[in-house]
Amino acid sequence: MKPNLVIGGGIVGLYTAYYLLQQGEEVEILDQGEMEVNCSTGNAGMIVPSHIVPLASPGMIAKGFSWMLSSKSPFYIQPRLDRRLVDWCMLFYRHSTLQHVKKSIPSLKALSLLSRQLYVDFVAEHGDNGIQLQEKGLLMLYQTKEGEKEEREFSHLARANGLQVEVLGSEDIQRLEPNVEVRARGGIYFPEDAHLSPADLHRYLKGYLIKRGVKIHTNRAVRGFDKQGDMVTAVQTDKGSIPCGQLMICAGAWSGDLAKMLGFRLPMMGGKGYSFELPNQPQLQQASILTEARVSQSPYGPKVRFGGTMEISNQPQKINLNRVQGIFDAISRYYPDFRAEFPADQQIWSGLRPCSPDGLPYIGKSPRWTNVCFGTGHSMMGLSLAPATGKLLAQIAHHQSPSCPLEGFVVDRFC
């Protein structure tokens, strides 16, 4: 019996292996690097059922063009001659409509709520183990009239779709952050959201899988696939061939390249993000998004992580310090007495988020190959949606009814 093979050692891949293991399967994981250096360890750690609107939505095109005029802005596309980039941008443009948003909301909401519950269940079963799951909600802070209008409109949309929402004034916000002044006109509070320590979750889950007998192949670049009939029988790597029964591709921004090797189209671009940790002084209490700056802030006791930007780039290792400066500058604008020093180079994390052109993940069976599934394209919500994605892929592999609808996430929707 060949093992189930998961390509990708990020949080989506680890949770896929976890739920396959719960089904009694033999599981192996293959990763092109050391696993720890990916978006799963450097993200904001937010679990956000509130994020029911896909990245491709009305207004994003206009915002994107205006942001590209500033080197410190939240969004940037590196100009280059790249047919894949042109195709991706055209698809993104076509999907940035109100109709697409309305159609996507039920699918994203169901997936997010399932994932949040799975996180709660996971911690209840395994204990904290440094994961630091904090069910404190998420605060969207705004400073301008335009920001207030946008966030209040979204609060109406979220409430109409059954989410818990609270509109807060500046005094309410200050009660949530008693240790530091918050400069904000107001905020929208989503009490059902949560956050955790992403690196500690990844560390614990990887260790748990190894203890349960999961074999992990690191630093293996995929070169191709062995095929027989309508099945993939093995993965060819630069260090030999690895046989597989079920094949789960959870390779983040590189999943599109693997789909090409399998003979079909999976539009994907890497959206580079940056983050850094600072001493939490004075201590922030509440996970927040600084909406005008598009910066996230996640406190973990004595440490706090700030992150942001979306840079569509083919240079994953290059750090653009102007973009990091944009994140850093937002701290004093919203928290004027927070003591922050610009991070040293070695403190700055960057990674490529896997972005589909319609802002929805790819979850489900691949075209052509009966034993191949994909779980990727989660953009900035990989950690938030990881448990649900892993559980759904394990259910698909065992021909079980999925725990939530998959219609919005079909893998071959652009074929």
Beta strands 269-279 and 4-7 are unpaired
Same domain, 246 and 127: yes
Same domain, 333 and 412: no
Domain boundary among 339, 355, 371: 355
Q: Which residues pair with 177 in a beta bridge?
A: none
- Contact present, 302 and 287 (Cβ < 8 Å): no
pLDDT for res 65: 58
CB contact set of 28 (below 8 Å; sequence gap of 6+): 3, 4, 5, 6, 214, 215, 216, 217, 242, 244
Tens of pLDDT along the chain (415 residues)? 899 999 999 999 999 999 999 999 999 999 999 887 677 888 999 999 999 999 888 876 666 656 665 666 677 777 777 888 889 989 998 999 999 999 999 999 999 999 999 999 999 999 999 999 999 999 999 999 999 999 999 999 999 999 999 999 999 999 999 999 999 999 999 999 999 999 999 999 999 999 999 999 999 999 999 999 999 999 999 999 999 999 999 999 999 999 999 999 999 999 999 999 999 999 999 999 999 999 999 999 999 999 998 887 766 667 889 889 999 999 999 999 999 999 999 999 998 999 999 999 999 999 999 999 999 999 999 999 999 999 999 999 999 999 999 999 999 999 9
- Contact present, 114 and 403 (Cβ < 8 Å): yes
What value, to the nearest 5°, has the Cα angle with vertex 53 and ends 48 and 55? 100
Closest CA to 269 of 308, 313, 307: 313
Same domain, 90 and 156: yes
Same domain, 87 and 101: no
Same domain, 35 and 105: yes
Cα 295 from chain centre: 15
As a residue count, the chain comes to 415
Domain range enclosing 68: 59-96+138-191+269-355
Same domain, 151 and 248: no
Same domain, 92 and 230: no
Same domain, 313 and 338: yes
Closest CA to 100 of 354, 355, 357, 358: 358
The pTM is what?
0.95
pLDDT for res 63: 65
pLDDT for res 310: 84
Domain boundary among 324, 339, 355: 355
d(CA 88, CA 84): 6
**Residue 251: CATH number of its domain:** 3.50.50.60
* Consecutive H or E run containing 150: helix 145-160
Q: How many other CB atoms sit within 10 Å of the CB of residue 148?
A: 18
Written as six digits, the tokens of 242 are 């690895």
pLDDT for res 67: 61
- What are the two backbone dihedrals, phi and then psi, of residue 38, each rounded to the nearest 5 degrees? -160, 180
Total domain count for the chain? 2
CB contact set of 24 (below 8 Å; sequence gap of 6+): none
Same domain, 87 and 119: no
Task: Give the amino acid at 48.
Answer: V
**Residue 329: CATH number of its domain:** 3.30.9.10
Same domain, 243 and 281: no
Mapped onto helix, strand or coil, the DSSP state of residue 5 is: strand
Domain boundary among 355, 384, 399: 355
Cα 115 from chain centre: 12
- Contact present, 115 and 47 (Cβ < 8 Å): yes
- What are the two backbone dihedrals, phi and then psi, of residue 300, each rounded to the nearest 5 degrees? -130, 75
Q: Whole-angstrom distance between the N-terminal and C-terminal Cα of the chain? A: 32
- Contact present, 285 and 297 (Cβ < 8 Å): no
Same domain, 323 and 410: no
Task: Encode 64-87: b = buried (16+ Cβ within 10 Å), e = exposed.
Answer: beebeeeebbbbbbeeeeeeebee
Same domain, 91 and 102: no
Cα 191 from chain centre: 20
Closest CA to 74 of 399, 264, 295, 233: 295
Helix runs in 262-350, H state only: 321-334
